[in-house]
Amino acid sequence: MKRIKTILILVLMVLATFAISATAGTVLMKAQQKKVTNNVSQQSFFDAEITFYIFEGTGCGCKPLIGATINATSGDGEDSGVTDENGTCVLHMVINSDYRVSIEAQDYNTVMFDFNVVDDQNFRFHMGEKNDDLPHSTLSLLHLVTRLLDR
């Protein structure tokens, strides 16, 4: 009889130890899952479609610029593309990230700008023709004045 009691006590101790271990493991796992979930919610895994419309010419007589290269770089990634027959190029960028974008086309001044991706966005650019006879600062001033007069 003492032997049966001892065996029962040992079995109960083993079962209790197993139950405590299982409960502790579940609590620890839930805590780790919550920690991972919190880290994921702070990172952005979503892309936005950024559409570029590139034109040549000024005013109403502008035409789509085919073959302009658009590069976008960020610490979160990069994307690039070339404008199609409509002067359109769509890049995919990570939401809530800062990007540096450059737009280049042969015989046109390069456009470079920085922006933060908020959501799907559209950009329209009228590329200014290069003029090798003028210094760079004069080109920038000429481009600015031309854009102001087009308004």
CATH of residue 75's domain is 2.60.40.10
Instruction: Quote the tokens at residue 69.
Output: 């290269």
| 63 and 6 within one domain | no
Is residue 55 within 8 Å of 62, Cβ to Cβ?
yes
| 63 and 21 within one domain | no
Higher pLDDT, 37 or 99: 99
| 55 and 14 within one domain | no
| 38 and 91 within one domain | no
Domain end call among 11, 28, 43: 43
Instruction: Quote the tokens at residue 54.
Output: 């590139």
C-alpha distance from residue 51 to each of 7, 10, 54, 64, 145 (Å): 75, 71, 10, 14, 26
| 100 and 32 within one domain | no
| 139 and 86 within one domain | yes
> What percent of the chain has a predicted confidence (pLDDT) above 70?
61
Is residue 114 within 8 Å of 77, Cβ to Cβ?
no
Q: What is the pLDDT of residues 27-48, one digit of tens each?
A: 555 555 444 334 333 334 588 9
| 73 and 128 within one domain | yes
Q: What are phi and psi of 119, to 5 degrees?
A: -165, -170
Q: What are phi and psi of 92, to 5 degrees?
A: -110, 125
Q: Domain containing 5: what range?
A: 1-43
| 117 and 83 within one domain | yes
What amino acid occupies position 99?
A: Y
Q: What is the pLDDT of residues 105-135, one digit of tens each?
A: 999 999 999 999 999 999 998 898 887 655 5
| 21 and 56 within one domain | no
What amino acid occupies position 131?
A: N
| 55 and 37 within one domain | no
| 134 and 75 within one domain | yes
> How many domains, the chain?
2
| 38 and 64 within one domain | no
Domain end call among 43, 59, 77: 43
